Amino acid sequence: MTTQIDAPSTLPPLPPLRIGEYTIPVPILQGGMGVRVSAHRLAAAVANEGGVGIIAAVALSLASRYYEKGKDYYRANVKALIEELETARALSPNGIIGVNCMVAIRDFEAMVRTSVENGAQMIVSGAGLPLRLPEFATSNPKTALVPIISSLRAAKLLAKRWHKLYKRLPDAMVFEDPNRAGGHLGVKTASQLFAKEYDTDTVVPELAEWSRSEYADEIPIITAGGVWDRHDIDHALALGAKGVQMASRFICTHECDAHDHFKQAFIDAKEGDVVIVDSPAGLPGRALKTSFTNTLLRGGEVATHCIATCLEACRCREEKETFCIALALHRAQQGDMENGLVFTGSNATRHTGIVSVKEIFQELLHGIPVRPMPIPG
């Protein structure tokens, strides 16, 4: 159910978030959602409201005018990313626009370099530790570099390595709670999920204390996974986070770049419709229950033809097992809910209708209740 706050005038202002060269008026990063679920429209809309809009770089080419055949995939990704950045900037001339670049993709370096050279103000990077990220971002030192980490141990390792090799620190870090986040989760097996050691309430205070004691708060901690309403944001800040990352909350918006059928699947979702699947990348992933996941979970046959060689490690390509994740995600984004995979966070079933990004920010900042509407048509 949509949270409604009865006394909008009582909400205190949220503090701005400083990341590198940039002051973000509202301490909210929109999470990167591939494949093309968060592209130029959603990123620009969030940036216009004072948050950070994030374009997900993975497999952008598949729904672009540049992709013609398999061998064009990487070249088309570069062209599609440049176009997305240019279009987002035109829609949000003064907002902060970033790109989510997954370490696990084969064109990680190309996506980072393309982002930095074409005006991305921030790179958010996870699905593996981005140990070489500063090396690929040297063309613009003002681009903020924000790794996604899953533990204090990973944060320490990454900060130490960056400082030693590149004489710089992360401009911020995103802790992604695998117990609540969507998509690929920061644990190796599903059996590790829901352990307290990976929970926001455990890890964020540890990270905040580490940043404060070791780096004088120069590395702000941002928490992700399960953030939906103002209560969640206030709780994250009370734990020591300086900001939050929100992804699933923005799916059922007019501006989200996915097909209306994709959004309707969330509106129709009921309790129990969020499942854990094994990804071809060898990691568990949180997804919405669809015909595709039903087939997958009961061991039925799914297409095992790799169309993009997008991942560094992929069971579909290497072992001819499981499914092509790029194709499955692309199909869902295009509205094919029978054959598509829909990654989501734990709040998937809270959507009740379509709203605007502006309405969400009005609720989060001022307590003005959103009024979800049916998807037109």
Distance CA 269, CA 284 (A): 21
pLDDT digits (tens, 9 = 90+) for 100-142: 999 999 999 999 999 999 999 999 999 899 999 999 999 999 9
Side chain identity at residue 129, one-letter code: L
Q: Tell me: pLDDT of 191 over 70.
A: no
Nearest CA to 175 out of 205, 195, 145, 196 is that of 205
Domain shared by 67 and 207, yes or no: yes
245 within some domain: yes
Could you tell me if residue 319 is inside a domain? yes
Is residue 300 one of the residues assigned to a domain?
A: yes
Dihedral Cα 120, 124, 130, 135, nearest 10 deg? 20
> Strand, coil or helix: what is 315?
helix
Q: Are residues 121 and 172 in the same domain?
A: yes
Q: What angle do CA 233, 236, 239 make, to 5 degrees?
A: 150
Question: Each residue of 46-90: pLDDT tens digit?
Answer: 999 999 999 999 999 999 999 987 678 999 999 999 999 999 999
Q: Are 167 and 313 found together in one domain?
A: no
Same-domain status, 316 and 360 = no
For residue 152, what are the domain limits?
8-260+354-366
Q: Kindly state whether residue 345 falls inside one of the protein's structural domains.
A: no
pLDDT tens for residues 299-318?
A: 777 767 788 888 788 777 87
Q: What is the DSSP letter of 354?
A: B
Q: What is the pLDDT of residue 9?
A: 53
Claim to verify: residue 275 and residue 230 sit in the same structural domain: no
Same-domain pairing of 326 and 303: yes
State whether 311 and 360 are in the same domain.
Answer: no
Q: Quick check: is 99 in a domain?
A: yes
How much is the average pLDDT of 283-294?
A: 90
Do both 82 and 31 map to the same domain? yes
The rounded percent of the chain whose pLDDT value lies above 70 is: 94
pLDDT tens sequence across 154-188? 999 999 999 999 999 999 999 999 888 887 776 66
pLDDT computed for residue 189 by the predictor: 63
- Residue 24 to residue 187: CA distance in whole angstroms: 30
Tell me the average pLDDT of the chain: 91
Q: Looking at the domain assignment, is residue 223 inside a domain?
A: yes
Residues 6+ apart with CB under 8 A from 268: none
**DSSP class of 27:** -
Same domain, 132 and 149: yes
Scored b (16 or more CB within 10 A) or e, 166-205 reads beebbbbbbbbbbbbbbbbbbbeebeeeeeeebebeebbb
233: Cα separation from own chain's centroid: 17
Q: Are 365 and 244 in contact (CB under 8 A)?
A: no
Residue 135: count other Cβ atoms within 10 Å of its Cβ. Answer: 14
> According to the model, what pLDDT value does residue 160 have?
97
Q: Is residue 50 part of a domain?
A: yes
Q: Quick one: which of 112, 44, 121 has its CA closest to 81?
A: 112
Task: Kindly state whether residues 77 and 224 are assigned to the same domain.
Answer: yes
Give me the CATH number covering residue 158.
3.20.20.70
Assigned domain for 327 exists: yes
pLDDT of 363 > 90? The answer is: yes
Question: Is the pLDDT at 345 greater than 50, yes or no?
Answer: yes
Is there a single domain that holds both residue 305 and residue 244? no
State whether 142 and 248 are in the same domain. yes
Q: How many domains does the chain fold into? A: 2
3-state secondary structure string across 60-128: HHHHCCCCCCHHHHHHHHHHHHHHHHHHHHHHCCCCEEEEECCCCECCHHHHHHHHHHCCCCEEEECCC
Q: Are strands 144-149 and 122-125 parallel, antiparallel or unpaired?
A: parallel
**Calpha distance 315→154 (Å, rounded):** 25
Confidence tier at 3 by pLDDT (50, 70, 90): very low
Percent of the chain's residues with pLDDT above 90: 76
